[in-house]
Amino acid sequence: MKTTPGIQRKPYRKKLLRLIESEDLIFVLGPRRSGKSTFALELEELLKRLTMSDVYVSRINFEDTNLMRVSVESLRKLFETRYAMGRKNIFLVDEISHLIGWETALNEILRLPKVKVILFSSTREVLSDRIDLVREGRCGVVHMLPLALPEFLFFHGFREIDQTEPVSNVKLYRGPDDKTFTLGEIYRMYISVGGMPVVSREQLAARHAWVAAEGTYCSSVTHDIMEYGSKSDKSRITDPLLLRTVITVLARNVGENISATRVGKIASEYLERPSSTKTVESYMQAILNSHLFFISERFDIRSNAQLKTLSKYYIADTGVCGYVMGTQRLDDGAALENLVYMELLRRDLRVMNGKLGSDEVTFVMDPFGERVYVQTSARLDESNRQKVLSPLRRIKDNYPKAVITMNSKTKKTPDGILIMNALEFLMGAKLR
CA distance 341 to 236: 29
Distances, alpha carbon 15 to alpha carbons 26, 56, 119, 140, 141, in Å: 11, 21, 15, 10, 9
Closest CA to 371 of 314, 281, 431, 420: 431
For the chain, give every domain's residue range: 10-143, 149-205, 211-426
Containing 389, the helix (H) or strand (E) segment is helix 385-394
CA distance 320 to 426: 19
> Which amino acid would we find at residue 68?
M
Closest CA to 196 of 7, 406, 387: 7
Closest CA to 195 of 329, 338, 331: 338
The tens place of each residue's pLDDT in the chain, 432 residues long, gives 344 444 568 889 999 999 999 999 999 999 998 989 899 999 998 888 877 678 899 998 887 756 666 778 888 888 888 999 888 999 999 988 878 789 999 999 999 999 999 999 999 989 999 999 999 999 999 999 999 999 999 999 999 998 765 555 678 999 888 899 999 999 999 999 899 988 766 666 656 667 778 888 888 888 888 876 655 656 678 899 999 999 999 999 999 999 999 999 999 999 999 999 999 999 999 999 999 999 999 999 999 999 988 999 999 999 999 989 887 788 999 999 999 999 999 999 999 999 999 999 999 999 888 899 999 999 999 999 999 999 999 998 999 999 999 999 999 999 999 999 999 999 999 987
∠ at Cα 201 (196, 207), nearest 5°? 85
CATH 3.40.50.720 fits 10-143, yes or no: no
